[in-house]
Each structure stands twice: as C-alpha cells, then as structure tokens.
Amino acid sequence: MANVSVNELGFSPKQGVNWSNYLVYRPVYQTSFFKRIFDYHAEKPGATWTVGHDIGAGCGIVSFTLAIHFDSVIISDPNDGYVTLAKKLLIEEASLPESKFTFLQETAEETSVDSGTIDLIAACECIQWTNPKAAISEFSRQLKAGGTLAITYYARPLIDGNERVQNAWKGVWGAHSKKAQGEVFDRAFRTINTALENIEFPEGEWEAIKRVYINARGDVNAFVMNNLVDERKVKEKEEKIWVEDDEEWVGMKDIEWFKAYLATWVPYIPEAEMQDVWDELELALEGKKARIRTPVVMIFATRRA
C-alpha cells in the first residue's frame, strides 16, 4: 500500500495551512532534538559539514539551525509559496546571508539536487506526505558516502494523569481524522500509525540504522491515529532506542491551546464542525490545564560507501 500513486500534495494551502499559527502552537525543536541529529553525524570518522538539505522544509524552521552547522543549506518543499516564505523569514527577517541558501520548490521523491553531494538530509514532519520508498531512494542518491539521513516525526500529544481528558482528546482526534479523507491522508495515516516502521532501508545502500522513540512509553501504539495499517519493514540489525520523559516534549495546556493546536493540523476543520467533541474536552478539563506528552520518532541512517 505504501506505493500507491497520490496526485495531491499533503499540507497544502488548500488544506488550510496557516504558518503563523504553526510557528506559535507547534512544538519548538529544542536542544535534545538537534543534538541527537548532529551527534549521530559527528560520531562518524571523517564526517563533513559542507551541505545540509532540509526536505519538506515548510517555512524553514529546521533550515535555520542547519545553517549554523553547514557551509550551505538547500531548502526544498513542493507546495506553492512555502520556500518563498522560508526565504523571507531566513533572509529578510533573521538576516542570514542569502549566499548560504538554495531554495527549491520540489518534492522529496524527485529533486534536481546533484547525486552524492549532500552531507546531511533532515526530513522533519514531512515523510508521511511522501511515497516513502521513492523518497528513501532519492535521499540515497543525493547523499555522499557516509552521509546522514535524519527523518523525524512528532505525533499529536497524549495526556498524562487524567484519563477523562485523554479520552475526550482522543475523541477530538477521532472526529478530526474522519474528516481527513482521500489518498494523501490515507497514505499519511499508514506511515504515522506504524510509527514510521513502514519505512525500509535497503541493506545495499544504508547502514547504522537507528530508530529512537521518545515519550512513547515503550509502545509504538502511542503513534496510532486510526485503523489504517501498513507492513512494518524494520530489520533485525536496526537499533531501537526508547527515551522516556524527555521534558522538551512535555507541557501544561488549557482548552484554548488545544483548539489552537489542532487548527495547525490539516485538514483545517472549524471548531463549529466538531463542537460536540470540543465541548466534551472542555468539560473534562474543568477549566484547568492538563499535562501533555508528545511521542516523537527519529530515524537515523548512513549512506553506505
């Protein structure tokens, strides 16, 4: 099922993306997140830091940090206007030098990047919108021998310590995912529901595969959103690491935040169209904040020589 052809792009403007809200309400990638990525790369003897590629870059959130570590950064995203916005934020607003960046309106599956030229690819919060098999093959083509691939995905948060709020929040996502209709969403759910374990790394091209599960309580079901499934492709040799209670992915949130947060996911569904489940969550919260914990998966792989 992972290879169905899908014509629509995910996370597109017509699905209701609002980058201003995204920047405020989505979790901020903090120190431990980037440290895991850069440590994996730095541990390799002879690692180079010449070109980084931020794939599915959106408005360039990850590119900003890649620019600190790499001589130059390619920023790619297929949706109309996103790399233009990234350029505005990075160059006009953050005053980074334009000469450091290349902006490409391209998909993960098909790019104009020269073969064997990239030291590190970061594909953050975007792999679910791709055909993973085609994307992995294209990442393999671009990377230098010994180059690093980092694929990351944070799921919707779970609620700790309050079963009623957790059930009501689950009801909100259940109602939302029923409205996420069509092949592009179905394919995304298959990748998300397997905690990205449907992503396969052909042994002839990849080595040192490491899958890190954060805040999942030792259970990949922490990522499940609905009943769509896909075949798991994790090989025995791959390393699996479980990290619990990473406080960078934890917080206390109230009803207004829950509403604003959900509005950053696609498709955008106005509150009034899911009023019953929102009312249930509001009642369950009793005017208080609840503790959220976000499950995250980070996959690292090295392009074989």
For binding to ligand SAM (CB under 6 A), which residues are involved? 9-11, 55-58, 61-62, 77-79, 82, 107-109, 124-126, 129-130
55 vs 284, beta carbon nearer ligand SAM: 55
**How near is the Cβ of 51 to ligand SAM at its closest, in Å?**
17
**How near is the Cβ of 57 to ligand SAM at its closest, in Å?**
5
What is the helix (H) or strand (E) element at residue 165, kind and residue range?
A: helix 163-179
157 token code pair? 């948060």
91 vs 255, beta carbon nearer ligand SAM: 91
**Partners of residue 52 on adjacent β-strands:** 73, 120
27 vs 171, beta carbon nearer ligand SAM: 27
**How near is the Cβ of 288 to ligand SAM at its closest, in Å?**
29
Question: For residue 192, which of 224, 221, 216, 227 has the smallest C-alpha distance?
Answer: 224
Report the relative pairing of strands 118-124 and 143-154 from DSSP bridges: parallel
Q: Is 247 helix (H, G, I), strand (E, B) or coil?
A: helix
**How near is the Cβ of 276 to ligand SAM at its closest, in Å?**
27
5 vs 99, beta carbon nearer ligand SAM: 5
112 token code pair? 């104009």
78 vs 157, beta carbon nearer ligand SAM: 78
78 vs 147, beta carbon nearer ligand SAM: 78
**How near is the Cβ of 53 to ligand SAM at its closest, in Å?**
11
CA–CA gap between residue 241 and residue 247 (Å, rounded): 17
**How near is the Cβ of 14 to ligand SAM at its closest, in Å?**
12
**How near is the Cβ of 162 to ligand SAM at its closest, in Å?**
27
Query: Tokens 């406080």 — which residue?
Result: 247
Question: For residue 103, which of 121, 118, 83 has the smallest C-alpha distance?
Answer: 83
261 token code pair? 């947060």
CA–CA gap between residue 13 and residue 27 (Å, rounded): 20
138 vs 280, beta carbon nearer ligand SAM: 138
Where residue 78 falls (left for φ over 0; alpha for ψ -120 to 50; beta otherwise) is alpha
134 vs 255, beta carbon nearer ligand SAM: 134
In this structure, which amino acid lies at residue 1?
A: M
Cβ atoms of 56 and 108 closer than 8 Å = yes
**How near is the Cβ of 55 to ligand SAM at its closest, in Å?**
6
Q: How many CB atoms lie within 10 A of CB 224?
A: 16
CA–CA gap between residue 166 and residue 157 (Å, rounded): 10
